[in-house]
Homo-oligomer: A and B are copies of this chain.
Amino acid sequence: MTPYADQGIQANQEGTIAVNQETVIEQATLDALSRASTATITTQLFQRGLRNTFLNGVRPLNSGHCRFAGEALTVRSIPSREDLDQVDVFKDPNHPQRKAIESVGPGQVLVFECRGDLRAANAGGILGTRAWKRGAAAIVSDGAIRDSPEIEQMPFPVFVAGRSATISLAIHHAVDINVPIGCANVPVYPGDILAGDEEGVVVIPRYLAAEIAQPAADQEELERFIMERVKGGASLPGTYPPNDETRAAFEEWKVRQS
């Protein structure tokens, strides 16, 4: 994977590996990624050496409204402490959990690191609604959600690893906004691109988003063609992956489709 290092990724002066997050992301790239399946995108990333990009166990609450692509705004939490994490803390408008919600902009994805601890929620119906109203693209968490019956009805992508009625403060202490986090054991850097579908969520390093958008769309189209063939009785050898003959038939099919 030296190619990526060659693209200018280096250690910076502050003691972390510089991740170039200044790449401009075109809306067309997000649109293409939100149309691709997460299965297709993870394959594109796998082919570039990234094996750990899908958020295992994180599932959509409303499968009718779960397709999205957007950039990560991260929220980090640590375990709570009884003396610090009492209900009164939410009176502070600067509390990181609340501030994160009020910071999210159109097209951004709120990504919560909950350390996979499902014993309490990290957000509920009112916070979810506010994020949606602010134009967020989605909420993604490796923790649990509360008010899930209400959120399941919202036309807004929310992906979580579980449900818990328990207030966040019982387990989680939100502590940072927009720092690199781990979510469901996958690294997420602020500005990374996340995409979701009925299966779950994939994290795409920002600098790769544009690079894989077109190949992902191409792969989707090819697989639709292959699926038609397989439904028609074709056997796998020569069809999947396609040999030259199948590829030629695919080119003709594409012409006919358009």
Q: Is the CB of A165 within 8 A of B54?
A: yes
Bound complex: CA A229 to CA B164 (Å): 25
Q: Which of chain B's residues have a CB closer than 8 A to the CB of A164? A: 54, 56, 199-200
A238: nearest chain-B partner, CB-CB = B93
Give the B-binding residues of A (Cβ under 8 A).
1, 4-5, 9-17, 19, 37-39, 41-43, 46-47, 49-54, 56-57, 59, 63, 78-96, 98-99, 101-102, 115, 117-119, 121, 124-127, 129-130, 133, 146-149, 162-167, 169-170, 173, 175-177, 179-182, 185-187, 197-200, 202, 205, 223, 226-227, 230-231, 233, 235-238, 240-241
Tell me the minimal C-beta distance from A235 to chain B in angstroms. Answer: 6
Task: Please tell me which one of the listed residues B92, B226, B233, B238 contacts residue A126 in the complex, with CB atoms under 8 A apart.
Answer: B226
Q: Is the CB of B15 within 8 A of A81?
A: no
- The verdict on A165 contacting B15 (CB below 8 Å), with A87-B47, A126-B227, A130-B236 known, is no
Q: Is the CB of A230 within 8 A of B126?
A: yes
Q: Which of chain B's residues have a CB closer than 8 A to the CB of A50? A: 81-83
Tell me the minimal C-beta distance from A229 to chain B in angstroms. Answer: 9
Bound complex: CA A205 to CA B51 (Å): 20
Tell me the minimal C-beta distance from A64 to chain B in angstroms. Answer: 11
A169: nearest chain-B partner, CB-CB = B46
Q: Is the CB of A19 within 8 A of B84?
A: yes
Q: Is the CB of A87 within 8 A of B46?
A: yes
Bound complex: CA A225 to CA B166 (Å): 21
Q: Is the CB of B147 within 8 A of A199?
A: yes
When A and B form their complex, which 9 residue pairs have the shortest distance between CB atoms, in order from nearest?
Answer: A11-B92, A149-B198, A93-B237, A38-B165, A15-B94, A4-B83, A78-B182, A39-B146, A39-B165
Task: Please tell me which one of the listed residues B17, B115, B185 contacts residue A173 in the complex, with CB atoms under 8 A apart.
Answer: B17
22 contacting pairs across A/B (C-beta < 8 A): A9-B84, A11-B92, A11-B94, A11-B95, A15-B92, A15-B99, A16-B175, A17-B85, A42-B167, A46-B87, A50-B81, A56-B162, A78-B182, A81-B187, A102-B236, A117-B185, A125-B227, A126-B223, A130-B236, A146-B199, A149-B198, A173-B180
- The verdict on A129 contacting B187 (CB below 8 Å), with A42-B165, A173-B17, A205-B81 known, is no
Q: Is the CB of A51 within 8 A of B202?
A: no
Q: Is the CB of B165 within 8 A of A83?
A: no
Bound complex: CA A187 to CA B162 (Å): 21
